[in-house]
Structure 1
Amino acid sequence: MLLTSLAVLVESLLVFRRAPTTVASGLRFPAASVDMSAVCTEIASSVSSASGVFFNGTEPYPRDIVHFAVSSTQDAACSFEPGTAEDVGIALRILGKTGCPFAVKGGGHTLNPGFSSTSGVQIATSRFANVIYDAATQTATIGAGLIWDEVYAALEPYGVNVAGGRVSGIGVAGFTLGGGYSWHANQYGLTIDTVQAFELVLPNGTVTNVNESHADLFFALRGGFNNFGIVTQFIFKAFPQSQVWGGTIIYDSSQADQLTKATADFAANNTDPKANVLTSYGYFQGGDVRQEVNVGILFYDGPSPPAGLFDGFLTSNCNTEVFTRSFLSLVQSSNANSTWGMRSAFNTISVLEYPEHFLKHMQNQSITWGNKLPLNYGYVTFNAEPILPSVYNQATSPSAWPGSRKSPFSPLSIVFGWSGDGSTDDVIVKGIKESAANLLANTPITERLSLYGNYAIGDTSLEAIYGVNVGKLMEIKKQVDPENVMGLAGGFKF
């Protein structure tokens, strides 16, 4: 049962809440003498009764600061739960004036330490929890504090859906602001391509609605994370949603070749935009147990797939949980919180194809690193996500990410999870970087492909993620945040 649970959770760490990233030039360093407790008190006395400020030892402070990975959680001076966009603006003006560090947390699923956590003011967006479906415009207005499970549950009675996270527990805001590969990506493009408008609190505290008529800022928010202010709600394109077919298949080590061949064939030959797969090569290490955990997750956007489409994955000898179900059921079957509270890290490369020999190399990497690293009680997974070129053809206007849509690349994610007190963190993080470099060296890529920021490890360069868009994004950042208030928060910074 333990390994079954671990196998199902492999997918859970593939899509992460990212408000993510590294520090680039122009980072605003907090004032050394800032009294963070006093800043908390000033925010509390300045905002409306719709909002609240909480200190350690009171509720809901623990909920506000906790993250999926224990290595991403910090003790904050206080937590701030804004109830209105205007109160977010008041807090931003105080934070900018005092130079107090802060962080913005949605789902808390980022694995990069310091991206949505802080020792200063932890802004928890949980009170932005609205889901409003407008049948006339075929759009859904969704609060930034929700996780996708809540969104799907709210939209299900209307028979509609939006392009969001693939597994349980993923936050709306970070996932969307980083790009967003959904189960519907082949049909509707990246999640950022389905956003019609953002409610944005600018760094100067002004609340504004950003849509295509605001060309530069609309461009920047679509993939630019938390550089341009704090988003409090999104308006997404909605589409009809029937029952779907899919689920998880677990393969033991003797069946891994079947999974590999099926994945390679699907990646090379599938043309149906309703079909999607995700293949994970994992290795579990715990006590005296060391074992491969290989998983195929199948998805078809309809009650049943065309005959033969997924036959290569199906076998009576595997632990199979694939059937017709609601979309929400599929997402929640991921058992995404199985590794809640572990230490975790992720990394990524981008590929143009998933040939069989490369998938076998991914499997070998999982075995090598699963045995080599001091995981104590943990796992490694290498995750193949083949997509159709149509993913990049759905945008109606330019976006910050990816740096280029000319090459139909697919993401590849690497996730390491481990137990302990943090003493082995550096060794394991070094290992995940080496594993990505090894994979890249064995990929016949002759061009530089954009790395997916939602999977990118914290010191990934801006150029590797945004390519030629870096210069333009820096200029937009200077225009909307001349005092670099957002530089007081973690993440990839322009």
Structure 2
Amino acid sequence: MSTAKRNIQKICNDSKDGSVLYEFGGEGYKSSVRHFLESSTDVAAYAVQPGSETTLVEIMKVIAKEKVPFAVKGGGHAMCPGFSSTTGAQISMMRFKQVKYDEKAKTLDVGAGCLWDEVYREVAKFKRNVVGGASADGVGVAGWLLGGGYSLKTNKYGLGIDNVLKYRIVLPNGRIRTATKDDKDTKDLYQALRGGGNNFGIVTQFTLKTHPQTATFGASLSFPGTREDRVKAAIVKFVKEESRPEAAIVSAFRHTLRNGKREYNISVLCVFDAPRPSRRADIPFRMFADLMKGSASFTSNPVGWNARGATTTLETLPDADVQNAGPEDGSDLEESGFREMTADEMHDIISPYDLEPRVPFQVVSDPDIDSAIEENASFAVSPSTLTARGASRGGLTAMKGVGELAARGRFHCIMVSKYTKKLIDAVAREAEAAAQSLKAKNGQMVLIDIWPFLPSIFDNSPRGAAWPHKKGAAFGPLLAYFRWEKAEDDKFWLRKMKTALKNIEKVALEEGCTTGKLPYYSNTSLEDVTARMIYRDNLKSLQKVRAKYDPDDVMGNTGGYKIPLPK
């Protein structure tokens, strides 16, 4: 390690591009190793920020020669420990920040160190947009795209990997290649990178298709758990009736612990990727707006357009009068928090997975319960330590503040092709069952979501991708996201999450919503999911591609779902 470190230090010192090697400690080191949660951050021996492909090439040559354990970090939202973090050499791609629009080709070049927030801001200048991360707040481009990429635009344009035209990559041997589908020398590499993760080298730039972007329409809603039956019925109604690819919802059944008291709410993010229809009958999400209208009160401030904290009290209407009530032009929906907005404003709508949002929910309160959900409610968490595997390395002790959130947690998922009432009931039931342990086991949040897609989402997906998806076989992740405070509770919460999803999967099988053999989605799976479970029948061909581009297994020294070399 010391030889490799000295050589990489010299490479950085001799570079003309601002490349820097950071020792343990200091803000440069912390920025390089920092991840979304502390549980997925490790204590790297040192961190390096290459400033160009040229410097990255030289660093890769050292790593290959010295067999250095390493990790590559884009945005740092990988949840699994050791996937984009390491106790060896941490490579941060944060200096690869270019975002360049080609007006003639209508494509966008995006550096691997970019976050979706900055990509959206830049492309919006041209009234265009890309198929990108559904949660814009801090999610990195590289990991999301290399894993597949489900988006709020997926109903219309497919996955993120269906919209990548070109990859720039530094191969494990230090060569720089540009991979495209039409280049006979690199078309196998191009397809392997369409969902193949970090198995083939370090991607430095993506060239993406762009699409026209109009105004959008929607809201972010939050209902108290006492309204569970009505919200579930509205979700079922949306799934059955809405077939426009512009309309998307993400609903989360979320239990949190605040000040020692458990709270339960159901969030519904509603996005119509088109201008607001002129007739009420054509406006999507009416079933959710009607729930707002039938509430005793709600906070009238969906995404901060009006004075924060303004509250409107409505008279409760009988259920029979609520459905489809309102003027022909649907103007009453704005009273329920819905509004036409720019794409930038749409991306500022709260993610269903946030506890401390930068923009508040449209909140429904219930006068019949003591604790109403408060707008922008704060969430108190205790500082947590890093994972046991990373708490101390070579005399280095974990630094405070290396997680964007002082918390531990994971994503995990099952894959489903549709949602039925029984499956939605199972989601609510299992979230409730897992949440019973929040207080006793230092839990912060139990969340299980519902994100329905149309059966046609893969109908225009180009064939040949590493991650299996094809026309006529739609599926998407049913996600669980659990957060807790202490490393000593890791095993408990991981078991609890697996149990919840196993029980939900049983119902999904009975309902014909899954086969149990669909490919796992690597961006939201636990670390014990295998490469075969992700790539299924594509694994054998991917092994051959890996042998061609990484015969010395250099990328085997980093984390992630490793495609094994052929035996």
Please report the TM-score for the alignment, with normalisation by the length of structure 1.
0.89
The 10-residue stretch of structure 1 (315-324 or 174-183) with the greater mean CA deviation from structure 2: 315-324
Aligned residue number for residue 364 of structure 1: 429
Gap regions ≥5 residues in structure 2: 303-337, 357-403
Aligned residue number for residue 472 of structure 1: 541
* 1:43 to 1:440, Cα distance in 2 relative to 1, 3 A: farther
Task: Tell me, yes or no, if structure 1 residue 200 matches structure 2 residue 172.
Answer: no
Residue identity opposite 1:78 in structure 2: Y
Task: Tell me, yes or no, if structure 1 residue 280 matches structure 2 residue 248.
Answer: no
Larger radius of gyration: 2
Deviation for aligned residue 1:48: 4.3
Aligned residue number for residue 439 of structure 1: 504
The 10-residue stretch of structure 1 (108-117 or 440-449) with the greater mean CA deviation from structure 2: 440-449
Task: Tell me, yes or no, if structure 1 residue 392 matches structure 2 residue 458.
Answer: yes
Conserved 8 A contact 2:22-2:46: yes
Residue identity opposite 1:331 in structure 2: H
CA displacement 1:286-332 (0-9 Å, x = unmatched): 34311212111100012214624211111222556232222222222
Deviation for aligned residue 1:57: 2.4
Deviation for aligned residue 1:447: 5.3
Q: In structure 1, what is the Cα distance between the partners aligned to 2:16 and 2:541?
A: 37
Higher RCO (Cα < 8 Å, 6 or more apart): 1
Aligned residue number for residue 27 of structure 1: none
Deviation for aligned residue 1:43: 4.4
Which of the numbers 522, 545, 551 marks the counterpart of 1:482? 551
Residue identity opposite 1:122 in structure 2: Q
* 1:174 to 1:147, Cα distance in 2 relative to 1, 3 A: same
* 1:364 to 1:274, Cα distance in 2 relative to 1, 3 A: same
Conserved 8 A contact 1:259-1:313: yes
* 1:447 to 1:456, Cα distance in 2 relative to 1, 3 A: closer
Q: In structure 2, what is the Cα distance between the partners aligned to 1:415 and 1:337?
A: 12
Q: In structure 2, what is the Cα distance between the partners aligned to 1:288 and 1:50?
A: 48
**How high is the sequence identity, in percent, across the aligned residues?**
31
Deviation for aligned residue 1:246: 1.7
Aligned residue number for residue 209 of structure 1: 178
Task: Tell me, yes or no, if structure 1 residue 252 matches structure 2 residue 227.
Answer: no
CA displacement 1:266-297 (0-9 Å, x = unmatched): 22332101111111111112343112121111
Task: Tell me, yes or no, if structure 1 residue 313 matches structure 2 residue 288.
Answer: yes
RMSD: 1.9
- What SS class does the counterpart of residue 92 from structure 1 fall into? helix
Conserved 8 A contact 2:13-2:20: no
Which of the numbers 390, 400, 418 marks the counterpart of 1:353? 418
Q: In structure 2, what is the Cα distance between the partners aligned to 1:419 and 1:331?
A: 29
- What SS class does the counterpart of residue 372 from structure 1 fall into? coil
Which of the numbers 66, 80, 91 marks the counterpart of 2:48? 80
Equivalent positions of 1:11-410 (< 5 A) are: 37-38=5-6, 40-45=8-13, 47-167=15-135, 168-213=137-182, 214-305=186-277, 307-314=282-289, 315-316=292-293, 317=295, 318-319=298-299, 321=302, 322-334=338-350, 336=354, 338=356, 340-373=405-438, 374-402=440-468, 406-410=472-476
CA displacement 1:233-287 (0-9 Å, x = unmatched): 1000011112211231101112122221121222233210111111111111234
Q: In structure 1, what is the Cα distance between the partners aligned to 2:340 and 2:58?
A: 48
Q: In structure 2, what is the Cα distance between the partners aligned to 1:157 and 1:334?
A: 22
Deviation for aligned residue 1:337: 7.7
Residue identity opposite 1:177 in structure 2: L
Conserved 8 A contact 1:149-1:328: no
Residue identity opposite 1:170 in structure 2: V
Q: In structure 1, what is the Cα distance between the partners aligned to 2:20 and 2:425?
A: 52
Gap regions ≥5 residues in structure 1: 1-32
Deviation for aligned residue 1:372: 2.3
Q: In structure 2, what is the Cα distance between the partners aligned to 1:293 and 1:450?
A: 31
Q: In structure 2, what is the Cα distance between the partners aligned to 1:393 and 1:308?
A: 25
Q: In structure 2, what is the Cα distance between the partners aligned to 1:467 and 1:158?
A: 40
Conserved 8 A contact 2:219-2:269: yes
CA displacement 1:376-410 (0-9 Å, x = unmatched): 25001101110112221222332011365542112
Residue identity opposite 1:173 in structure 2: A
Conserved 8 A contact 1:65-1:74: yes
Conserved 8 A contact 2:8-2:59: no
The 10-residue stretch of structure 1 (142-151 or 279-288) with the greater mean CA deviation from structure 2: 279-288
CA displacement 1:105-155 (0-9 Å, x = unmatched): 111011111110011111111111111111110101111101100001111
Corresponding residue pairs, total: 461
Q: In structure 2, what is the Cα distance between the partners aligned to 1:395 and 1:364?
A: 35
Deviation for aligned residue 1:375: 4.6
Deviation for aligned residue 1:37: 4.1
Please report the TM-score for the alignment, with normalisation by the length of structure 2.
0.78
CA displacement 1:216-248 (0-9 Å, x = unmatched): 111100000100000111000011112211231
Residue identity opposite 1:162 in structure 2: V
Conserved 8 A contact 2:461-2:471: no
The 10-residue stretch of structure 1 (423-432 or 298-307) with the greater mean CA deviation from structure 2: 298-307
Task: Tell me, yes or no, if structure 1 residue 418 matches structure 2 residue 484.
Answer: yes
Q: In structure 2, what is the Cα distance between the partners aligned to 1:383 and 1:470?
A: 29
